[in-house]
Amino acid sequence: GEEGTEVVALLESERPEEGIKPSGLGACEWLLVLASLIFIIMTFPFSIWFCIKVVQEYERVIIFRLGHLLPGRAKGPGLFFFLPCLDTYHKVDLRLQTLEIPFHEVVTKDMFIMEIDAVCYYRMENASLLLSSLAHVSKAIQFLVQTTMKRLLAHRSLTEILLERKSIAQDVKVIAAEGEKAASESLRMAAEILSGTPAAVQLRYLHTLQSLSTEKPATVVLPLPFDMLSLLSSPGNRAQGSINYPSSSKPVEPLNPKKKDSPML
């Protein structure tokens, strides 16, 4: 279903090494980074002991500098450098992990109520996307497994479930693979549309503002108008993102002042 596809889209990306697109630092933030580097150089070699950490072979490290995700792939294994005053790092374990799915009720095709449990094995592939998109990975995986099991067992009778355990397990793998393929294809198409057409970004921007005002009425304060932001972009992007409205080839006929109004009016 759609819920399973959305969860798979967060757990699996088309390019695991890149993750999400990070945002750049501002002018004041770059000044703080420069001041921190100067302080580290002045206190060398004592400061080097606080700026270098070790990452194990089965771990990866995600660094956030002043709240911004640093560009590039996750750090590790080995040594990595960070600024103690400005950076915060998070370690992600890439080893195979086990998740026990608790008992939950499932209604079969012949209206029997079953209580089933499961054991799920998973491994993290994209550490950047994981920390930036999911707050509780175990809960997301648990809901995905429960939804998939209910979807499969609801179309089978109790006898079929007891006799076809291996085929059900194979169907679970097929559904998970189809969800990953559909999610990666949707992410790729959305990225191509937004990157190739700046007008689509504007429409998405307006749609987001409309959804915010509809779900929770509030006053949205914008620092700059969107038109001024578009003026700051390059001329090529403006020409590419401009929308040409079709002009009517038929001239507009002038109003006839001598024509009388209809008696119905």
Among 143, 169, 196, give the residue marking a domain's end. 196
Which bin fits 31, alpha (ψ -120 to 50), beta or left (φ > 0)? Answer: alpha
Higher-confidence residue of 222 and 156: namely 156
* Residues 116, 89 within the same domain: no
Query: Is residue 62 a contact partner of residue 131, using CB atoms and an 8 Å limit?
Result: yes
> Which region among 91-105, 153-167, 175-189 has the lowest average model confidence (pLDDT)?
175-189
Report the run of H or E that residue 90 belongs to, with start and end: strand 87-93
Residue 67 lies in a domain: yes
- Do both 126 and 146 map to the same domain? yes
Residues 34 and 57 in one domain: yes
116 has which bridge partners? 104
Domain count, the chain: 2
pLDDT at position 242: 46
Query: How many helices and strands (H and E) does the chain possess?
Result: 10, 7
What CATH code is carried by the domain that includes residue 101? 3.30.479.30
Examine residue 68 and state whether it is found in any structural domain, yes or no.
yes
pLDDT surpassing 80 at residue 231? no
| Residue 139 falls inside a structural domain | yes
**CB 114 within 8 Å of CB 165:** no
**One-character DSSP codes across 117-129:** EEEEEE----HHH
**Is 119 in the same domain as 187?**
yes
pTM of the entire structure? 0.47
Task: Specify the pLDDT at position 239.
Answer: 45
The answer to whether residues 105 and 78 belong to one domain is: no
Is residue 233's pLDDT more than 70?
Answer: no
Residue at which a domain ends, from 93, 119, 154: 93
- Report if residue 104 sits inside a domain: yes
Measured CA to CA, the distance from residue 259 to residue 265 in angstroms comes to: 13
State whether 56 and 111 are in the same domain. no
If asked whether residues 49 and 106 sit together in one domain, one would say no
**109 and 160 co-located in one domain:** yes
81 plus 120 within the same structural domain: no
In a domain, 143, yes or no: yes
The residue range of the domain holding 42 is: 22-93
Q: pLDDT exceeding 70 applies to what percent of the chain?
A: 52
Tell whether 12 is covered by a domain: no
pLDDT digit string, tens, across residues 49-93:
888 888 888 888 888 888 888 877 788 888 888 888 888 888 888
Q: What's the pLDDT score for residue 200?
A: 61
Range among 45-49, 159-163, 217-221, 227-231 with highest mean pLDDT value: 45-49
- Higher local confidence (pLDDT), 200 or 255: 200
**Sorting pLDDT into bands at 50, 70 and 90, what band is 263?**
very low
The winner for highest mean pLDDT among 146-160, 193-207, 230-244, 246-260 is 146-160
In a domain, 8, yes or no: no
Q: What is the pLDDT of residue 19?
A: 45
Is the domain of 36 the same as that of 51? yes
